[in-house]
Amino acid sequence: MSIVTVQLGQCGNQIGFEVFDTLFSDSHSSQGLCSKRENEAYQASCKERFFSEEENGVPIARAVLVDMEPKVINQTLSKAAQSGRWKYGQHAYFCQKQGSGNNWAYGYSVHGPRHEESIMNIIQKEVEKCDSLSGFFIIMSMAGGTGSGIGAFVTQNLQDQYAHSLKMNQIIWPYGTGEVIVQNYNSILTLSHLYRSSDALLVHENDAVHKICAKLMNIKQISFSDINQVLAHQLGSVFQPVYSAEGLFHYRRNPLGDLMENLVPHPEFKMLSLRNIPQMSENSLAYSTFTWAGLLKHLRQMLISNAKMEEEGFKDPALYTSWLQPVDAFNVWKTQRAFSKYEKSASLVSNSQFLVKPLNMIVGKAWNMFASKAYLHQYTKFGIEEEDFLDSFTLLEQVVASYYNL
């Protein structure tokens, strides 16, 4: 089954490119460390999910690019075309001349409705290319105006038009400070709207990824491209094919469905986070060997510390909510095929209290600003009123409380 990726705004488009590039290079890497048959199955599965074939043989990403400003889209399209290995569809993008100016309201209430038909048509064309559709993967940031505002609008439309397909939103959580001043407003509006229309929100925090670049990858001067590559690596590690049990001959066919089935047990809890090991610089990679025990132990410590190692470590009921059995709450999917440049690697996707703290922070900061009515005129100008903010606050306070009370 295939996934249609929708990449929105500057952030969404930059990351989307890196994701496809990572998926492609991984599936065509010569370091798979597995049998030829295995490798072919892996490649075929990856391709079914993310690429369609054109006559001249260059795979085309199953992606739709949306931005309200042409610079980033032009750059992304030409980067992909220049790679010579894969590219984006010729008509699979939509852009305008003037961005949303960091204003969620402008993206959601002005750009969204104005370009609804064009954007949905492009998405439909992409969907028609798939033999069977697993769902949508929507990459966006929540700080700006286009990714967040139009992202929320498009997700809502997808929910209306493709009610039975799954929608997973990849959300880039902004740095605590320093990107966009109204990011907390934009974030609460985005999150509250997505909570109503999306099936799962896979969250990446810029601060956390920045730390990975600095500490694990040992990068001195960190650029956005470094950050996006780490993100793409993590996403790739989850979306590449795996087996759900020993001795199976077929890769799991419905990646989004599998993830949701296992990770989103209740509509109140939709926020997923992702951890992946190992991640290190090329230099240290040459001197490292990996054992499964070590990796899993490490991964488990990242989830919560102190316990036994190996897979057994994840079977401790204390890790999970009382209304789920560990057997139901925890699943392992594997493949022989190595991912990217690592001989062995493991990723953990969890629906946990991990994100409740940053969420609580953002709601708190936005609330503080809201109390002084600062910047509200910029939103009411485009039809987002105080009541809309209050609705968003109410919904998110509910989410925070639910996660805290687990």
Q: Which residues bind other proteins (CB under 8 A)?
A: 10, 14, 69-72, 75, 97-103, 145, 175-182, 210, 213-214, 219-225, 227, 363-365, 367-369, 371-372, 374-375, 377-378, 390, 393-394, 397-398, 401-402, 405
Rounded (5°) CA angle 262-264-267: 155
Kindly state the smallest distance separating residue 144's Cβ from other proteins, in Å. 8
Report the nearest approach of other proteins to the CB of residue 393 (Å): 5
Minimum Å gap between C-beta 175 and other proteins is 7
Q: What is the 3-state secondary structure (H, E, C) of 264-324?
A: CCECCECEEEEEEECCCCHHHHCCCCCCHHHHHHHHHHHHCCCCCCCHHHHHCHHHCCCCC
Nearest to other proteins of 15, 202 (CB atom): 15
Output the smallest distance, CB 153 to other proteins, in A. 18
- Angle CA 217–223–227, to nearest 5: 55
Q: Which lies closer to other proteins via its Cβ, residue 8 or residue 133?
A: 8
State the minimum distance, in angstroms, from the CB of residue 377 to other proteins.
6
Is the Cβ of residue 37 or residue 97 nearer to other proteins in the bound state? 97
Q: Min. distance of Cβ 401 from other proteins in angstroms?
A: 5
Helical packing angle, 9-27 and 224-239, nearest 10°? 60
CB of 211 to other proteins, least distance (A): 11
Q: At what angle do helices 183-197 and 386-404 cross, to 10 degrees?
A: 70
The label of the residue with tokens 């922070």 reads 361
Can you read off the two tokens belonging to residue 303? Answer: 């989830």
Roughly what angle, to the nearest 10 degrees, separates helices 386-404 and 356-371? 150
Residue 127 near residue 4, CB atoms below 8 Å: yes
Cβ closest to other proteins, residue 99 vs residue 255: 99
295: amino acid identity, one letter: L
Identity at 232, one-letter amino acid code = A
Instruction: Write down the least CB distance from residue 370 to other proteins, Å.
Output: 8
- State which residue, 268 or 311, has the beta carbon closest to other proteins: 268
Nearest to 12 by CA among 202, 161, 181: 202
The Cα–Cα gap between 343 and 333 comes to 17
**Residue 137 is encoded by which pair of tokens?**
């993967």
Instruction: Note if the bond before 278 is cis, omega within 30 degrees.
Output: yes
CB of 296 to other proteins, least distance (A): 31
CB nearer to other proteins: pick between 211 and 308: 211
C-alpha 288/C-alpha 267 separation (Å) is: 42
The DSSP element (H or E) to which 391 belongs, if any, is helix 386-404
Q: How far is the CB of 226 from other proteins (least distance, A)?
A: 8
For other proteins, which is the closer residue by CB, 4 or 73? 73
State which residue, 179 or 258, has the beta carbon closest to other proteins.
Answer: 179
The DSSP result for 320-373, as a single string, is S-TTS-HHHH----B-SS--TT-SS-EEEEE-SGGGHHHHHHHHHHHHHHHHTT
Complex with other proteins: residue 41 or 227, whichever CB lies closer: 227
Comparison of 210 and 298: residue with beta carbon closer to other proteins: 210
